[in-house]
Amino acid sequence: MKYSRLTKEQFEELHQEFINFLATQSITGEEWEDIKTNKPEVAVQELDVFSDLVWEGVLSTAKYVEHISPQQMHLFSLNEANMHVIAVQLKNALDLTTKEGFNWLRENLMDEDVEFLQAKKEYTEDKNMDKFTLIQQGGVITKGELYQFFNKLIN
């Protein structure tokens, strides 16, 4: 498996897509029940293949990833050739993951306790794995509103 197996909740959300996936392999519902019971290792392989297909689709279309921790915010724009990251760092004791900390940042963007950095990073040979790594490290795929706001602010 290239990425990670979907969670039970994710499989439940993608129930119809999984049925369609099995159908493309000419596996009926009855056959799937038999595979789960009598060949659990084959069932796990099917779940893993489906998980990788889902991840490939999601990662191929992802345009922005955000990672917010107590003192830093990393906002990634996943461009065709590279990733552009805007980092916002707090030099004070406020916590960006709280409503109070985030509101303080909104009202004090030009405060000396706020530092902005930006960089570009080239992808490796496997662009989707690079994106997946960001998610594994705590990033969340977004629509990019925060990235776009800060990009306009500092550029």
Tens digit of each residue's pLDDT (9 = 90 or more) over 34-86? 999 999 999 999 999 999 999 999 999 999 999 999 999 999 999 999 999 99
- How many structural domains are present in the chain? 2
Mean pLDDT computed over 10-24: 94
Kindly report, residue by residue over 101-115, the tens digit of the pLDDT.
999 999 999 999 999
Query: Is 2 a residue whose pLDDT tops 90?
Result: yes
What is the percent of the chain with per-residue pLDDT over 90, rounded to a whole number? 97
Q: Mean pLDDT in the chain?
A: 95
- Furthest CA-CA distance within the chain: 65
**How far out from the chain centre does Cα 62 lie?**
8
Structural domain of residue 47, as residue ranges?
Answer: 8-61
| Beta bridge mates, 86 | 75, 118
Asked whether residue 76 falls in the same domain as residue 52, the answer is no
Asked whether residue 47 falls in the same domain as residue 100, the answer is no
Query: Is 93 a residue whose pLDDT tops 90?
Result: no
Q: How far apart are CA 150 and CA 20, in angstroms?
A: 41
* pTM given for the model: 0.86
Q: How far apart are CA 120 and CA 85, in angstroms?
A: 6
Which residue has tokens 């409503």? Answer: 99
Asked whether residue 84 falls in the same domain as residue 132, the answer is yes
Task: State the burial class of residue 75 (Cβ atoms within 10 Å of its Cβ: 0-12, 13-18, 19+).
Answer: buried
Residue 129 lies in a domain: yes
Amino acid sitting at position 155: N
Where do the H-state alpha helices sit in 90-141? 99-107, 127-136
Q: Is 142 helix (H, G, I), strand (E, B) or coil?
A: strand
Q: How far apart are CA 7 and CA 2, in angstroms?
A: 15
Query: Is 129 a residue whose pLDDT tops 90?
Result: yes
Asked whether residue 14 falls in the same domain as residue 51, the answer is yes
Asked whether residue 78 falls in the same domain as residue 145, the answer is yes
DSSP state of 80: S
Query: Is 124 a residue whose pLDDT tops 90?
Result: yes
Q: Edge-to-edge strand order for the sheet containing 72-78?
A: 114-122, 82-90, 72-78, 64-68, 140-142
Query: Is 135 a residue whose pLDDT tops 90?
Result: yes
Asked whether residue 106 falls in the same domain as residue 53, the answer is no
Residue 33 lies in a domain: yes
- Domain termination residue (choose one: 36, 61, 86): 61
Token pair in block for residue 114: 């706020």
Asked whether residue 52 falls in the same domain as residue 103, the answer is no
pLDDT at residue 52, rounded to an integer: 96
Query: Is 155 a residue whose pLDDT tops 90?
Result: no
pLDDT at residue 150, rounded to an integer: 94
